[in-house]
A and B are shown apart, each in its own frame.
Chain A
Amino acid sequence: MPIYETVFITRQDLGVAQVEQLTKDYSKVLTDMGGKILKTEQWGLRTFAYIINKSKKGHYTLIESDCPAPAVIEMERLMRNNEDIVRYMSIKLDAPTTGPSAIIAKHDNDERDFNTQEVA
C-alpha cells in the first residue's frame, strides 16, 4: 500500500479537544478501510501566510498513513463535507518519514541555526 501524508487545517475557533477528535475520526476512516496510521502530529494553532475564509489562523494536523487509495479518497470526501475543515492536502510519499516533520522540529532548532550561521 502506498504511503500518504495528509495535512488538514481546521477552523480557529475549534478547541484542541475537538481537533483531536477530528484527527481520531479521520484516522478511524483510514484504518477501517484497511489502512495503518504511521504518525499523527498536531502542529497547533498557526498563523496563515494569507487570509483564508476571512480567518487568519487555524489548527494544523498531519496524518501519515499506509493505506489504500480509496481510503484516502473517502477521507478527503468527508473533509470536503466538513465545514470545520478549512483546507486539506494529501500527498503520496516515496518512503515513510522518520522523526517529527520540519515544522515541529524547527522550533527547537531556531536558535541553533542562527548561531551556526554567525560562526560560519
Chain B
Amino acid sequence: MARPERNSAERAERPEAAADGADAGAKKSFFKRRKSCPFSGKDAQAIDWKDVRTLGRYVSERGKMMPSRITSVCQKKQRELAQAIKRSRYMALMPYVRTEMENTRGPRPERSFDRPERSYSNDRSDRPSRDNAE
C-alpha cells in the first residue's frame, strides 16, 4: 500500500471506498452505483458549520477532510463543506487533528509511532484479525 495512512482511515470509515481505491479498474463492475452529491438536489441537506454530526461524516478519523472523490460531494458543495468544517474547527466544535490518545471510537491501525504502551486492552482483540485480512 503506497498510502498507508489514508488507506487505513478509509478502511475504518468507509470500507467500500477503500476497496475501490485499491484497484479501481477491476472494481468498476462491482460498484456501478455512483452516489450523487448528498448536498445538491431538491431536498438536500443544507451545509451548516454548526451541524457537527453531519460534518463529522466528511472528515477522516484523524480529523482531516475527506476528498470529494470518496464522498462524491460535488465541487461547489465541497467548497462550502470545506469552509463549514474550517469554521467548525475554529470554534472548537471539531478538532483540527485527532490523535490516537483521544480516539475512543475503536481500533486504530498499527503503523503509528506515537502510540502509548498499549493501554487500550479492548482494542487489541480486533487488531490481529485486521492484519490477517490484509
Known: A102-B51, A102-B52. A87 touches B91 (CB 8 A): yes
When the two chains form their complex, are residues A102 and B87 in contact, meaning their CB atoms are under 8 A apart?
Answer: no
**With A102-B50, A106-B51, A106-B53 given, is the CB distance from A50 to B96 under 8 Å?**
yes
Contact with B along A74-109 (1 / 0, CB 8 A): 000000000000010101000000000111001000
> With an 8 A cutoff between CB atoms, is B94 at the interface?
yes
A41 to B, closest residue via Cβ: B50
Q: B residues 41-77 with Cβ under 8 Å of A?
A: 48-54
How far is A102 from B48 in the complex, measured between Cα atoms in Å?
8
Whole-angstrom CA separation of A9 from B92 in the bound complex: 10
* Centre residue among B90, B91, B93 by max chain A CB count within 10 A: B91
A7 touches B91 (CB 8 A): yes
Residues of B within 8 A of A103 (CB): 50-52, 93
- Count of chain B residues with Cβ under 8 Å from any Cβ of A? 16
Q: Are B94 and A49 closer than 8 Å at their CB atoms?
A: yes
CA distance A58 to B93 in the complex (A): 11
A89 B51 Cβ-Cβ under 8 A: no
Chain A interface residue count, Cβ-Cβ cutoff 8 angstroms: 17
Query: For window 41-97 of chain A, which residues contact chain B by CB distance below 8 Å?
Result: 46, 48-50, 52, 58, 60, 87, 89, 91
Instruction: With A106-B53, A113-B53 as known contacts, state yes or no: A87 contacts B48, CB within 8 Å.
Output: no
Residue of A nearest to B90 (CB): A89
B96 neighbours in A (Cβ, 8 Å) = 49-50
Whether B95 sits at the interface, judged by CB under 8 Å, is: yes
Which chain B residue has the least Cβ–Cβ distance from A105?
B51
Q: Which of A89, A101, A102, A106 contacts B91 (CB 8 A)?
A: A89
Do residues A87 and B90 form an inter-chain contact, with CB atoms below 8 A? yes
- Using CB atoms and an 8 Å cutoff, list the residues of chain B in contact with chain A: 48-54, 87, 89-96
Q: Knowing that A46-B93, A49-B93, A49-B96 are A-B contacts, what are 20 other residue pairs whose CB atoms are under 8 Å apart, sorted by A's residue number? A: A7-B50, A7-B91, A9-B91, A9-B92, A48-B92, A49-B94, A49-B95, A58-B92, A87-B91, A89-B87, A89-B91, A91-B87, A101-B50, A102-B52, A102-B53, A103-B52, A103-B93, A106-B51, A106-B52, A106-B53
